[in-house]
């Protein structure tokens, strides 16, 4: 081997160990978690993360398919990436483009047909195979991997290095459940994420312990129907999400626990009692209802009534009086009348929400809702959404104003907009601005709420030593 060939080999090896990946994440918290785990898997393959798409050797779009025209937005982004890929090629740089997530699962090979610049399409259940799939793509194969594999992807994903976890902050997501068996007629999740699957107890606990060891103070458990999580303990005893929360609450360093997103039908007694008993479980619950009309709930295949939902909320509040409620609402579902919509407004008034997410119904191809009669005009849906959001915003602002004067424990997470200012997270998931030092990130301090803005609160420190992180 000549010296020139040897030098070239070394340069190629060095380049392979210094590849950069840019991951663009769309949609929900689970996609944020998935993007992080994809990054962990790629780090083992020599990829370093970058915030600058133009300098990336690999660009991954981790997509969401919940909202209307989600796929078209992905194709629009792919059009811009095609031009960047051509520019890089003209300058002697290779760029690999991948599409991951729910649009990848739904569209599959259609993405390769419509976007020839794409090298790799990988579904949300197969991203643990990314390093091997990328080797195939770099070898010239155009890869589509959207089958549901028999193995547990979490068993095959490498754990993030402690230094990487620390860089992500003092709050972290942890997926414990995936998929959905509910088959609401408006929703694509059962088709893109598959059937409900729960991660084993030991696997969840081990990941939570790694997060805590790296300085994470608050863990949010994720799942499409997170409160459908089930498992067994060492003795074979059946466990539910309430039991899992009790186990995680015993991990040293974990000061706060949350979970999302829940289904009313899976809100059992054990979980409600966990809200009553566990100080680490924050008094905040996202519990979607979608509509207040029993006729529309039946058409949505929600399998509960408005009365069932309100009664459940009353039980939860009896167990935890200071709990803040969040929800999801869809307006303009096929066949929705003004009377149906009025029933939704009445339910909102009866419950009282600290926060909520609301959307116009959008057709999701392949779902039963797409074939229902009575689709509403866009202007009708828009007008109803405006009225609904006005009511929800009034409730959110009233909840924020009611916080003024309260003393709360605040988890300090990151610097604020001004010097000497920090942003923390209240027990009810609000952003709170307070004067504090950057060295206090990860501390839980006692503060008094002094003001309420449209999307955040302000506070003064009462006691800086509520719960300091371990140095």
Q: Write out pLDDT tens, residues 225-272.
A: 999 999 999 899 999 999 999 999 999 999 999 999 999 999 999 999
Question: Degrees (nearest 5) of the Cα angle 340, 182, 177?
Answer: 130
DSSP per position, 274-326:
HHHH-TTB-SEEE---B-S-HHHHHHTT--S-HHHHHHHHHHHHHH-TTPEEE
Least confident of 7-16, 79-88, 184-193, 316-325: 7-16
Specify the higher pLDDT residue, 108 or 450. 450
CA dist 197 → 154, 259, 437, 456 (Å): 12, 16, 42, 36
Q: What are 9-29's pLDDT values in tens digits?
A: 444 444 455 799 999 998 888
pLDDT at 425 over 70: yes
Q: What are 64-117's pLDDT values in tens digits?
A: 887 767 778 888 999 999 999 999 998 889 999 999 998 898 888 999 999 999
| The pLDDT of residue 18 | 78
* Of the candidates 192, 197, 198, the residue with the CA atom closest to the CA atom of residue 66: 192
| Non-local CB neighbours of 371 within 8 Å, separated by 6+ positions | none
Angstrom distance (rounded) from CA 368 to CA 199: 29
Least confident of 3-12, 33-42, 263-272: 3-12
Question: pLDDT tier at 199 (50, 70, 90 boundaries)?
Answer: very high
| The pLDDT of residue 192 | 86
| The pLDDT of residue 2 | 47
| The pLDDT of residue 312 | 98
| The pLDDT of residue 459 | 97
| The pLDDT of residue 129 | 87
């Amino acid at each position: 081997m000549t010296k020139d060939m040897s030098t070239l080999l070394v340069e190629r090896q060095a380049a392979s160990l210094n590849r950069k990946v840019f991951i663009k994440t769309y949609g929900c918290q689970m996609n944020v978690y998935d993007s992080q785990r994809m990054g962990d898997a790629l780090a083992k393959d020599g990829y370093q993360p970058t915030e600058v798409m133009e300098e990336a050797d690999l660009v991954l779009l981790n997509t969401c398919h919940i909202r209307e025209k989600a796929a078209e937005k992905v194709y629009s982004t792919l059009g811009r990436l095609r031009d960047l890929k051509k520019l890089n090629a003209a300058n002697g740089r290779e760029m690999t483009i991948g599409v991951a997530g729910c649009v990848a699962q739904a569209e599959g090979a259609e993405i390769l047909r419509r976007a020839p610049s794409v090298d790799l399409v990988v579904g949300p259940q197969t991203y643990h195979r990314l390093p091997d799939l990328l080797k195939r793509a770099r070898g010239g194969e155009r890869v589509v991997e959207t089958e549901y594999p028999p193995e547990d992807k979490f068993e095959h994903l490498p754990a993030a290095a402690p230094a990487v976890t620390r860089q992500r902050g003092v709050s972290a997501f942890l997926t414990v459940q995936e998929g959905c068996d509910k088959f609401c007629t408006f929703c694509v999740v059962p088709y893109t994420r598959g059937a409900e699957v729960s991660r084993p107890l030991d696997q969840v606990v081990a990941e939570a312990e790694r997060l805590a060891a790296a300085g994470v103070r608050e863990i949010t458990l994720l799942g499409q129907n997170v409160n459908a999580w089930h498992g067994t303990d060492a003795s074979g005893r059946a466990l539910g999400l309430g039991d899992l929360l009790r186990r995680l609450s015993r991990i040293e360093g974990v000061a706060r626990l949350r979970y999302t997103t829940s289904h009313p039908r899976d809100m059992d007694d054990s979980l409600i009692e966990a809200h009553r008993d566990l100080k680490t479980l924050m008094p905040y619950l996202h519990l979607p209802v979608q509509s207040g009309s029993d006729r529309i709930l039946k058409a949505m295949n929600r399998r509960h009534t408005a009365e069932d939902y309100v009664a459940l909320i009353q039980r939860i509040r009896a167990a935890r009086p200071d709990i803040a409620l969040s929800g999801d609402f869809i307006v303009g579902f096929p066949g929705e009348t003004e009377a149906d919509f009025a029933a939704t407004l009445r339910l909102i008034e009866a419950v009282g929400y600290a926060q909520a997410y609301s959307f116009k119904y959008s057709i999701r191809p392949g779902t039963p809702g797409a074939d229902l009669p009575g689709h509403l005009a866009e202007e009708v849906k828009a007008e109803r959404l405006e009225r609904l959001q006005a009511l929800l915003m009034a409730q959110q602002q009233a909840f924020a104003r009611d916080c003024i004067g309260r003393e709360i424990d605040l988890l300090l997470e990151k610097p604020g907009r001004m010097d000497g200012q920090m942003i923390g997270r209240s027990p009810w998931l609000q952003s709170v601005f307070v004067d504090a030092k950057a060295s206090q990130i990860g501390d839980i301090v006692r503060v008094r709420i002094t003001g309420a803005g449209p999307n955040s609160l302000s506070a003064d420190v009462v006691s800086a030593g509520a719960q300091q992180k371990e140095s």
